[in-house]
Structure 1
Amino acid sequence: MQLLPAESSIELGEADLGETVIVSFIAGQLDDPLILGRTRREPVAKAEHADSPRCLEFDGHRVLLSAGESLTLRCGRASITLGADGRVAIEGRRISSKASGSHRIRGGTIN
C-alpha cells in the first residue's frame, strides 16, 4: 500500500488509514487527487423508524429530508421553508428562476 497526499471533501482521521476511498482528480490531473468519500465494509443500517419526522435517507438516487412541522434550508440571507400545511416560502436578496423548457407559474393569486 502506498500513501499519497490528497485533498479531501470529507473529514478523515488516523482511524481511516488503510480504508478504501472514492477518488477523483482535480481538472483530470492524476497528480492532484481529491477524496470524495470512503466505502463501508459493514452494511448501512436502516433507520428504525423510517417514517419518523427526522428521517434522513441516502440511497444513491435520492435524498429524502422529512420534518413533522416545517423544514428550512438556509444559507446566509437566503432560505427555503416548507410547511406541513403545504406552504412554501422562498426568501432571498435576489431570486431568479430559469427553465430550458416550459416554465409555468399557477396560483390563486399571482402578484
Structure 2
Amino acid sequence: MSGRDLIETQLAANATQEPVAGPWQAAVIGELVAIADEGSTPLVVFAGQPGTAALRARSVIDLHGAHIGRAVVLMFERADPARPIVMGVLRDARGWPRPEVPAPAQVEVDADGERLLVSARTQMVLRCGKASITLTRAGKVLIQGSYVLSRSTGVNRLKGGAVQIN
C-alpha cells in the first residue's frame, strides 16, 4: 500500500468518526485563579469542569500576576476537558487600568550599543537557578549563590564602613 493510499484510508476513517459530545468543541470562558511552578503553569476553573480543584493548563500567551482573577478563553486538547489550553485573556469592558489590579510595574531600559542601563523603582533581581543578584532602592546589593567567586587581574578591593568575614 502506498503512502497516498494510507493517507486516504486514514482520512476516510476520520470522516466517519462522530465528534466528541459536549461543549468542549467550542471556546469556553474560564477564570485564571493562579500561576504555579514559578510562573510557568496557569491554573484555571470553568463551569462544567471535571472535579472541583483548579486544573493545570497550558497557554499560547504569556500570563502574569495581573491576569489572575481575569476571564480567559479556553480550548481543550483533543476535546478533553481535563486538558485546557489558555487561548487568551478577555479584555475588561472598562479597559486598563482596572481599579482593583495595579498596572504592571514599569522598567526602564536604555541601550545605545555601548551601554545597557536597566532601571526599576524599588528592586531589581537577576536570577538563574539558585544564584541571584538583588539591587534594592535603599542601596543594598545582595549576591547569593551556592558558590561565589570574585577574581581580578588587578586590585580586588573590599571597602565599606565595616567589613565582616564569616
Q: What is the TM-score normalised by the length of structure 2?
A: 0.34
1:110 aligns with 2:153: no
Task: State the Cα distance separating 1:58 from its structure 2 match.
Answer: 1.3
Counterpart check, 1:89 vs 2:158: no
5+ residue gaps, structure 1, are 1-51
- Output the CA distance in 1 between the equivalents of 2:118 and 2:142: 17
What TM-score, normalized to structure 1? Answer: 0.51
**Larger gyration radius, structure 1 or structure 2:** 2
Q: Structure 1's 57 and 95: CA in aligned 2 closer, same or farther, altered over 3 A?
A: same
Looking at structure 2, the residues matched to 110 and 90 of structure 1 have their Cα atoms a distance apart, in angstroms, of 15
Asked whether 1:77 is paired with 2:130, we answer yes
Q: How far 1:53 moved relative to its partner?
A: 5.5
Q: Which residue number in structure 2 is paired with residue 101 of structure 1?
A: 154
The percentage of counterpart residues that share the same residue type is 38
Shift of 1:97: 0.3
How is 1:50-61 mapped onto 2 (pairs within 5 angstroms)?
Answer: 54-61=107-114
How far apart in 1 are the matches of 2:125 and 2:148?
17
Tell me which protein shows more helix as a share of its residues: 2
Matched to 2:164, the amino acid is: I
Partner amino acid, structure 2, of 1:109: V
1:69 & 1:92 partners in 2: Cα distance? 22
1:62-73 → structure 2 map (5 Å cutoff): 62-73=115-126
Q: Deviations over 1:65-85 (max 9, x none)?
A: 001000000001000000010
CA-to-aligned-CA distance 1:20-73 (integer Å, 9 cap, x gap): xxxxxxxxxxxxxxxxxxxxxxxxxxxxxxxx9511111100110001000000
Offset of residue 109 of structure 1: 3.0
SS in 1 for 2:143: strand
Count of residue pairs brought into register by the alignment = 60
